[in-house]
DNA sequence: GCGGTCGTGTCATGATCGGGTCATGAGTCG
DNA sequence: CGACTCATGACCCGATCATGACACGACCGC
């Protein structure tokens, strides 16, 4: 299961957290201060880090910042201070969530699951692409809209994936021709238009007024973010 | 800025949330029940969804699940019920975060930022140009002024990028013609003036008294540092 | 082999939008 | 005061794109 690092100076809280998480099936390490946390984090792979705010030496904010500088690992701040200012500061320091003590083990576990779910998901090789109510499963070669499968041809599917892989970025016709049709393709750039149109009829709520597959005049096409 | 969908039945809370988020620069839509939420979500692109737990018709959990079945969009539950059981249920339903009312706007905004930060796996890599309250995203082909998108044509966009790439440096008409229009362009240098003017109407606070795109008499144009 | 279907690329048409030119006026400098 | 430079607004043509129709070939069942 996932490896989790706990950074907490209070011995009792630390071991109770550790127990609770091991109960959930996680592989847990724990340290009592920020320096050790940074050292250990550099030496071992962790999938998530829990940091207490009040630490001897460098505090939780700073520890979080240092870790964030070298990694995008999910970080949860676990602390007694529930002041809005602290919450905001913690999140701005790079934490993904902020839980106040006394916390309930079940809730912390749920938040950890939610965070791991997301971080795995938007990690590389995300199995699923989506926009609006459209879901694309590149592996399965399936496109669904509002749950129902939409049949796409091979070219349409590749084109859709190419757009969905770069949401918000404008892709020129040349780029699309190269990536969807192949490096050696010498054809009319208008060809892209036709396939975009066909895609729109299958994927857009109103193909006449596209909301997702947008044309950027003179530049190409892009998927709305 | 990012588009956010609010799902909340209480009219007052809804509008106050909306205001608070618009204050932060987000582009906000809101609906009063789960059905409308799902419908709108399928028809418009959103980057994040806020869902209240207590909704008429299908409740917040179910709304979250339906959306989650169709998309990996970040979801935050915002609700009055702070029971651990509800928190866990919300997160298990697919929510990424769970905020209890009464909430502080600053904290909600910070949590939204944290979530968007993580969900944008790509956004950070792209370079961004800016001056004053204008932000240019070359990859996305987007120009924003004070957060709101300003439509620029292809030539305007290229010209603006060219200027923004050399802030403080005077660029002659010949240089601009060469770099924006192409090496072989033989046309009137006045052409640049016209496009500068068009840019100014879109980007300058007062186009008659330019503060950013400055004319250097006899030499060309430059972007103010 | 034969006819049908399906996917793909090409073409013609029409609407829209963007870009280049021009005439005019204001501002600036010698 | 001219001469030059730039700003402004209007205008027209051509580029660009959406759309629908169609031709060609691959694939498949018969």
The pLDDT of B85-98, averaged and rounded, is 96
Q: What is the DSSP letter of A142?
A: E
Domain that holds residue A190: 129-223
Q: Are residues B74 and B23 in the same domain?
A: yes
Q: Are residues A116 and A134 in the same domain?
A: no
Burial of A223 (C-beta count, 10 Å sphere; 0-12/13-18/19+): buried
* Tally of domains within chain A: 2
Q: Are residues B110 and B200 in the same domain?
A: no
Which residue reads 């209240």 in tokens? B52
Q: Are residues A106 and A141 in the same domain?
A: no
Which residues, 6+ apart, have CB-to-CB distance to B129 below 8 Å?
B135, B136, B138, B161, B164, B165
Q: Are residues A103 and A23 in the same domain?
A: yes
Q: How far is B161 from chain A (nearest CA, A)?
A: 14
CA-based nearest residue in chain B for residue A205: B43
Residues of chain A with confidence (pLDDT) below 70: 123-126, 183
CATH number at residue B73: 3.40.50.2300
For residue A7 the two structure tokens come to 């950074």
Query: For B10-55, how does the pLDDT look when each residue is reduced to its tens digit (9 = 90+)?
Result: 999 999 999 999 999 899 999 999 999 999 999 999 999 999 999 9
Q: How far is B159 from chain A (nearest CA, A)?
A: 14
- Judge contact between B108 and B20, C-beta under 8 A: yes
Comparing CA positions, the residue from B61, B54, B115 lying closest to residue B88 is: B61
Burial of B90 (C-beta count, 10 Å sphere; 0-12/13-18/19+): buried
List of chain A residues whose C-beta atoms are within 8 Å of the C-beta of residue B123: 168
Last residue of a domain, one of B120, B145, B177: B120
For residue B56 the two structure tokens come to 């008429």
Q: d(Cα B155, Cα A158) in Å, to the nearest integer?
A: 30
Q: CA at A153, C1' at D27: how many angstroms apart?
A: 14
Q: d(Cα A168, Cα B17) in Å, to the nearest integer?
A: 26
User: What does the pLDDT read at residue A123?
Assistant: 63
Q: Are residues A74 and A107 in the same domain?
A: yes
CATH number at residue A161: 1.10.10.10
Last residue of a domain, one of A69, A88, A120: A120
Q: Are residues B136 and B62 in the same domain?
A: no
Q: Are residues B22 and B114 in the same domain?
A: yes
User: What does the pLDDT read at residue B122?
Assistant: 47
Residues A90-116 as b/e (b if ≥16 CB within 10 A, e otherwise) read bbebbbbbbbebebeeebbbbbbebbb
Cβ of A121 under 8 Å from any chain B Cβ? yes
User: What does the pLDDT read at residue B141?
Assistant: 96
Q: How far is A188 from chain B (nearest CA, A)?
A: 21
- Judge contact between B40 and B31, C-beta under 8 A: yes
Q: Are residues A107 and A156 in the same domain?
A: no
Q: Residue ranges of the alpha helices (H) in chain B?
A: 11-23, 34-43, 60-70, 84-92, 105-119, 154-164, 173-176, 190-203
List of chain B residues whose C-beta atoms are within 8 Å of the C-beta of residue A144: 70
Residue B39 vs residues A144, B5, B36, B66: alpha-carbon distances, Å: 15, 12, 5, 11
**Beta-strand relationship, B48-52 and A129-131:** unpaired
In this predicted model, which residue has the larger pLDDT, A198 or B70? A198
Question: For chain B, how are helix, strand and coil distributed in percent, rounded to 5?
Answer: 40, 20, 35
Q: Is the pLDDT of residue B126 over 90?
A: no
Q: Are residues B134 and B99 in the same domain?
A: no
Q: Is the pLDDT of residue B118 over 60?
A: yes
User: What does the pLDDT read at residue A124?
Assistant: 61
Q: What is the DSSP letter of A208?
A: T
Residues A12-41 as b/e (b if ≥16 CB within 10 A, e otherwise) read ebbeebbebbeebebebbbbbbbebbbebb
Among B71, B84, B141, select the one facing A135 at the smallest CB separation: B71
Q: Is the pLDDT of residue B188 over 90?
A: no
Q: Are residues A80 and A115 in the same domain?
A: yes
Q: d(Cα A51, Cα A39) in Å, to the nearest integer?
A: 14
Q: CA at B99, C1' at C17: how many angstroms apart?
A: 46
**Does at least one atom of strand D sit less than 7 Å from the CB of B208?**
yes
Burial of B105 (C-beta count, 10 Å sphere; 0-12/13-18/19+): middle
> pTM for the complete prediction?
0.87
Q: Are residues B7 and B116 in the same domain?
A: yes
Last residue of a domain, one of B120, B144, B169: B120
Nearest nucleotide (C1') to the CA of residue A190?
D17
Q: Is the pLDDT of residue B105 over 60?
A: yes
Query: For B137-167, how does the pLDDT look when each residue is reduced to its tens digit (9 = 90+)?
Result: 999 999 999 889 999 999 999 999 999 999 9
Protein residue minimizing CA–C1' distance to C18: B153
User: What does the pLDDT read at residue A187?
Assistant: 75
């Amino acid at each position: 299961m996932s490896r989790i690092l706990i950074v907490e100076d209070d011995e009792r809280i630390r071991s109770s957290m550790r127990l609770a998480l091991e109960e959930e099936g996680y592989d847990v390490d724990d340290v009592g201060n920020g320096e050790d946390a940074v050292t250990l984090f550099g030496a071992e792979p962790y999938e998530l880090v829990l940091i207490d705010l009040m630490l001897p030496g460098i505090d939780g904010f700073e520890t979080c910042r240092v870790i964030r500088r070298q990694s995008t690992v999910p970080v949860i701040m676990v602390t007694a201070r529930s002041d809005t200012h602290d919450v905001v500061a913690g999140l701005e320091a790079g934490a993904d969530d902020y839980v106040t003590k006394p916390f309930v083990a079940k809730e912390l576990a749920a938040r950890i699951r939610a965070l791991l779910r997301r971080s795995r998901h938007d990690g590389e090789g995300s199995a699923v692409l989506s926009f609006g109510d459209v879901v694309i499963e590149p592996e399965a070669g399936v496109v669904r809209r509002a749950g129902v499968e939409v049949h796409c041809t091979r070219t349409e599917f590749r084109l859709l994936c190419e757009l969905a892989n770069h949401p918000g970025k404008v892709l020129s016709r040349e780029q699309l021709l190269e990536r969807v049709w192949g490096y050696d393709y010498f054809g009319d750039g208008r060809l892209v238009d036709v396939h975009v149109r066909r895609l729109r009829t299958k994927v857009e709520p109103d193909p006449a007024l596209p909301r997702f597959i947008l044309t950027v005049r003179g530049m190409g096409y892009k998927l709305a973010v």
